[in-house]
Amino acid sequence: MAEISLPVTISNPDYPEADGSEFGAYVAMPESATGPGIVLLHEIFGVTRWIKDTVDLFAAQGYCVAAPEMFWRLERNFEADFAVPAQRQKGFEYRGLIDHDKAVADIAATIAYLKSLPECNGKIGVTGFCTGGTLTYLSATRLEINAAVVYYGTQIQEFLDERQNIHCPTIVHAGTSDEHVSLEILEGIKMALSSNSNITVHEYDAGHAFAHTERVDHYFGGAAATAHARTFELFGSLK
Protein backbone atom coordinates (compact mmCIF):
# COMPACT_ATOMS: atom_id res chain seq x y z
CA MET A 1 0.00 0.00 0.00
CA ALA A 2 1.11 3.58 -0.56
CA GLU A 3 3.18 5.24 2.15
CA ILE A 4 1.21 8.48 2.05
CA SER A 5 -2.19 9.23 0.63
CA LEU A 6 -3.49 12.73 1.16
CA PRO A 7 -4.88 15.93 -0.36
CA VAL A 8 -2.30 18.53 -1.34
CA THR A 9 -2.40 22.02 -2.83
CA ILE A 10 -0.73 22.74 -6.17
CA SER A 11 0.08 26.25 -7.35
CA ASN A 12 -0.36 27.48 -10.92
CA PRO A 13 0.83 31.10 -10.88
CA ASP A 14 0.54 31.43 -14.67
CA TYR A 15 -3.26 31.43 -14.48
CA PRO A 16 -4.34 33.40 -11.40
CA GLU A 17 -8.07 33.55 -10.81
CA ALA A 18 -10.22 35.75 -8.63
CA ASP A 19 -10.28 33.04 -5.97
CA GLY A 20 -6.57 32.24 -6.22
CA SER A 21 -4.25 30.21 -8.41
CA GLU A 22 -4.01 27.14 -6.20
CA PHE A 23 -6.03 23.98 -6.61
CA GLY A 24 -6.33 20.68 -4.80
CA ALA A 25 -5.09 17.23 -5.73
CA TYR A 26 -5.20 13.79 -4.19
CA VAL A 27 -1.70 12.28 -4.05
CA ALA A 28 -0.34 8.83 -3.21
CA MET A 29 3.26 7.63 -3.10
CA PRO A 30 4.65 4.17 -3.85
CA GLU A 31 6.25 1.91 -1.29
CA SER A 32 9.37 1.76 -3.46
CA ALA A 33 11.99 4.46 -3.01
CA THR A 34 11.34 6.07 -6.39
CA GLY A 35 9.05 5.72 -9.36
CA PRO A 36 7.62 7.57 -12.34
CA GLY A 37 5.09 10.33 -11.79
CA ILE A 38 1.54 9.74 -13.02
CA VAL A 39 -1.10 12.45 -13.40
CA LEU A 40 -4.50 10.76 -13.14
CA LEU A 41 -7.41 12.84 -14.45
CA HIS A 42 -10.94 12.44 -13.20
CA GLU A 43 -14.26 11.98 -14.96
CA ILE A 44 -17.05 14.56 -14.91
CA PHE A 45 -17.74 13.60 -11.29
CA GLY A 46 -14.59 15.14 -9.80
CA VAL A 47 -12.07 13.60 -7.42
CA THR A 48 -14.43 10.98 -6.03
CA ARG A 49 -13.77 8.04 -3.74
CA TRP A 50 -13.33 5.87 -6.85
CA ILE A 51 -10.72 8.22 -8.29
CA LYS A 52 -8.85 8.14 -4.96
CA ASP A 53 -9.03 4.35 -4.94
CA THR A 54 -7.66 4.30 -8.48
CA VAL A 55 -4.83 6.64 -7.47
CA ASP A 56 -4.00 4.22 -4.66
CA LEU A 57 -4.15 1.32 -7.13
CA PHE A 58 -1.58 2.99 -9.38
CA ALA A 59 0.62 3.96 -6.43
CA ALA A 60 0.65 0.34 -5.30
CA GLN A 61 2.10 -0.51 -8.72
CA GLY A 62 5.10 1.71 -8.00
CA TYR A 63 4.10 5.19 -9.17
CA CYS A 64 3.93 8.67 -7.64
CA VAL A 65 0.35 9.60 -8.48
CA ALA A 66 -1.59 12.87 -8.35
CA ALA A 67 -5.25 13.40 -9.26
CA PRO A 68 -5.75 17.17 -9.64
CA GLU A 69 -9.07 18.92 -9.24
CA MET A 70 -9.82 19.91 -12.85
CA PHE A 71 -13.11 21.77 -12.26
CA TRP A 72 -11.75 24.06 -9.54
CA ARG A 73 -12.39 27.24 -11.55
CA LEU A 74 -16.05 26.28 -11.80
CA GLU A 75 -16.54 24.88 -8.30
CA ARG A 76 -13.92 24.02 -5.73
CA ASN A 77 -14.00 20.52 -4.23
CA PHE A 78 -16.67 19.47 -6.72
CA GLU A 79 -17.68 15.87 -6.25
CA ALA A 80 -20.80 14.39 -7.84
CA ASP A 81 -22.64 11.13 -7.27
CA PHE A 82 -23.23 9.51 -10.65
CA ALA A 83 -26.41 7.93 -9.29
CA VAL A 84 -28.02 11.32 -8.54
CA PRO A 85 -29.41 12.86 -11.77
CA ALA A 86 -28.99 16.51 -10.71
CA GLN A 87 -25.37 15.97 -9.69
CA ARG A 88 -24.61 13.98 -12.82
CA GLN A 89 -26.11 16.78 -14.93
CA LYS A 90 -23.91 19.36 -13.24
CA GLY A 91 -20.90 17.23 -14.17
CA PHE A 92 -22.00 17.30 -17.80
CA GLU A 93 -22.43 21.07 -17.58
CA TYR A 94 -18.92 21.50 -16.20
CA ARG A 95 -17.53 19.34 -19.00
CA GLY A 96 -18.98 21.85 -21.44
CA LEU A 97 -17.66 24.85 -19.50
CA ILE A 98 -14.11 23.73 -18.82
CA ASP A 99 -11.38 25.85 -20.41
CA HIS A 100 -9.15 23.24 -22.04
CA ASP A 101 -6.16 25.56 -22.35
CA LYS A 102 -6.20 26.39 -18.65
CA ALA A 103 -6.87 22.75 -17.78
CA VAL A 104 -3.73 21.71 -19.65
CA ALA A 105 -1.84 24.42 -17.77
CA ASP A 106 -3.09 22.94 -14.50
CA ILE A 107 -1.85 19.52 -15.64
CA ALA A 108 1.53 21.09 -16.41
CA ALA A 109 1.58 22.50 -12.87
CA THR A 110 0.75 19.06 -11.49
CA ILE A 111 3.60 17.57 -13.52
CA ALA A 112 5.98 20.18 -12.09
CA TYR A 113 4.79 19.27 -8.59
CA LEU A 114 5.42 15.56 -9.18
CA LYS A 115 8.88 16.21 -10.62
CA SER A 116 9.75 18.19 -7.49
CA LEU A 117 9.16 15.16 -5.27
CA PRO A 118 12.24 13.14 -4.25
CA GLU A 119 10.23 9.97 -4.85
CA CYS A 120 9.70 10.81 -8.55
CA ASN A 121 12.33 9.59 -11.03
CA GLY A 122 11.58 12.45 -13.43
CA LYS A 123 9.57 10.42 -15.94
CA ILE A 124 5.91 11.39 -16.35
CA GLY A 125 2.85 9.55 -17.59
CA VAL A 126 -0.66 10.96 -17.85
CA THR A 127 -3.88 8.96 -17.78
CA GLY A 128 -7.54 9.77 -17.37
CA PHE A 129 -11.11 8.64 -17.74
CA CYS A 130 -13.97 10.18 -19.76
CA THR A 131 -13.32 13.95 -19.66
CA GLY A 132 -10.01 13.08 -18.07
CA GLY A 133 -9.33 10.93 -21.12
CA THR A 134 -9.80 13.92 -23.39
CA LEU A 135 -7.47 15.97 -21.19
CA THR A 136 -4.94 13.13 -21.30
CA TYR A 137 -5.00 13.28 -25.09
CA LEU A 138 -4.45 17.05 -24.96
CA SER A 139 -1.60 16.56 -22.51
CA ALA A 140 0.07 14.26 -25.03
CA THR A 141 -0.38 16.80 -27.82
CA ARG A 142 0.69 19.90 -25.88
CA LEU A 143 3.07 18.86 -23.09
CA GLU A 144 6.40 17.10 -22.92
CA ILE A 145 5.50 13.83 -21.23
CA ASN A 146 6.85 10.31 -21.53
CA ALA A 147 3.65 8.30 -22.00
CA ALA A 148 -0.13 8.75 -22.08
CA VAL A 149 -3.11 6.42 -21.64
CA VAL A 150 -6.63 7.54 -22.54
CA TYR A 151 -9.64 5.70 -21.13
CA TYR A 152 -12.74 6.34 -23.27
CA GLY A 153 -12.15 10.04 -23.89
CA THR A 154 -15.38 11.72 -24.92
CA GLN A 155 -14.14 14.72 -26.92
CA ILE A 156 -11.01 13.53 -28.73
CA GLN A 157 -12.80 13.97 -32.05
CA GLU A 158 -12.83 17.73 -31.45
CA PHE A 159 -9.02 17.89 -31.31
CA LEU A 160 -7.90 15.48 -34.02
CA ASP A 161 -6.02 18.24 -35.83
CA GLU A 162 -3.49 18.11 -32.96
CA ARG A 163 -2.74 14.39 -33.30
CA GLN A 164 0.60 14.82 -35.10
CA ASN A 165 1.93 16.71 -32.05
CA ILE A 166 1.96 13.45 -30.05
CA HIS A 167 5.55 12.23 -29.79
CA CYS A 168 5.28 9.90 -26.79
CA PRO A 169 3.84 6.37 -26.70
CA THR A 170 0.10 6.79 -26.30
CA ILE A 171 -2.68 4.25 -25.76
CA VAL A 172 -6.36 4.94 -26.34
CA HIS A 173 -8.77 2.48 -24.68
CA ALA A 174 -12.21 2.64 -26.31
CA GLY A 175 -15.47 0.73 -25.92
CA THR A 176 -17.29 -0.22 -29.12
CA SER A 177 -20.67 0.40 -27.49
CA ASP A 178 -19.85 3.68 -25.74
CA GLU A 179 -23.09 5.68 -25.50
CA HIS A 180 -21.11 8.94 -25.49
CA VAL A 181 -18.88 8.12 -28.48
CA SER A 182 -20.80 6.48 -31.30
CA LEU A 183 -19.19 3.73 -33.35
CA GLU A 184 -19.16 6.12 -36.31
CA ILE A 185 -17.23 8.72 -34.29
CA LEU A 186 -14.89 6.03 -32.98
CA GLU A 187 -14.13 4.86 -36.51
CA GLY A 188 -13.30 8.44 -37.47
CA ILE A 189 -11.01 8.79 -34.45
CA LYS A 190 -9.23 5.53 -35.28
CA MET A 191 -8.72 6.51 -38.89
CA ALA A 192 -7.31 9.91 -37.97
CA LEU A 193 -5.04 8.61 -35.20
CA SER A 194 -3.67 5.84 -37.42
CA SER A 195 -1.53 8.48 -39.16
CA ASN A 196 0.59 8.77 -35.99
CA SER A 197 2.62 5.64 -35.23
CA ASN A 198 3.04 6.71 -31.58
CA ILE A 199 -0.66 6.05 -30.92
CA THR A 200 -2.24 2.64 -30.37
CA VAL A 201 -6.03 2.26 -30.16
CA HIS A 202 -7.39 -0.76 -28.28
CA GLU A 203 -11.08 -1.57 -28.67
CA TYR A 204 -13.19 -3.48 -26.17
CA ASP A 205 -16.63 -5.02 -26.44
CA ALA A 206 -17.85 -2.70 -23.70
CA GLY A 207 -19.59 0.60 -23.12
CA HIS A 208 -18.59 3.85 -21.48
CA ALA A 209 -16.98 3.76 -18.01
CA PHE A 210 -16.10 0.08 -18.36
CA ALA A 211 -13.22 0.50 -15.87
CA HIS A 212 -15.35 2.14 -13.15
CA THR A 213 -15.79 -0.56 -10.51
CA GLU A 214 -18.55 1.28 -8.65
CA ARG A 215 -20.81 1.64 -11.68
CA VAL A 216 -22.23 -1.85 -11.76
CA ASP A 217 -24.31 -1.03 -14.84
CA HIS A 218 -21.17 -0.03 -16.78
CA TYR A 219 -18.25 -1.92 -15.27
CA PHE A 220 -16.84 -4.71 -17.43
CA GLY A 221 -14.23 -6.61 -15.47
CA GLY A 222 -12.60 -8.40 -18.39
CA ALA A 223 -12.14 -5.21 -20.42
CA ALA A 224 -10.93 -3.29 -17.37
CA ALA A 225 -8.35 -5.92 -16.47
CA THR A 226 -6.98 -6.07 -20.01
CA ALA A 227 -6.88 -2.30 -20.31
CA HIS A 228 -5.10 -1.88 -16.97
CA ALA A 229 -2.56 -4.57 -17.90
CA ARG A 230 -1.74 -2.69 -21.10
CA THR A 231 -1.57 0.58 -19.18
CA PHE A 232 0.85 -0.79 -16.59
CA GLU A 233 2.97 -2.38 -19.30
CA LEU A 234 3.41 1.01 -20.96
CA PHE A 235 3.95 2.96 -17.75
CA GLY A 236 6.26 0.22 -16.52
CA SER A 237 8.71 1.22 -19.25
CA LEU A 238 9.20 4.52 -17.39
CA LYS A 239 10.65 2.82 -14.30
- Give the confidence band of 67 by pLDDT, cuts at 50, 70, 90: very high
Contacts (Cβ under 8 Å, ≥6 apart) of 229: none
Domains of the chain in start order, with CATH, are: 5-236 (3.40.50.1820)
Interstrand relation of 120-129 and 170-175 (parallel, antiparallel or unpaired): unpaired
Q: What angle do CA 49, 123, 237 make, to 5 degrees?
A: 90
pLDDT in tens, 184-228: 999 999 999 999 999 999 999 999 999 999 999 999 999 999 999
- Give the confidence band of 117 by pLDDT, cuts at 50, 70, 90: very high
Interstrand relation of 147-151 and 120-129 (parallel, antiparallel or unpaired): parallel
pLDDT in tens, 22-43: 999 999 999 888 999 999 999 9
Distance CA 162, CA 144 (A): 14
In 3D space, the residue among 5, 225, 41, 55 whose CA is nearest the CA of residue 143 turns out to be: 41
pLDDT in tens, 135-168: 999 999 999 999 999 999 999 999 999 999 999 9
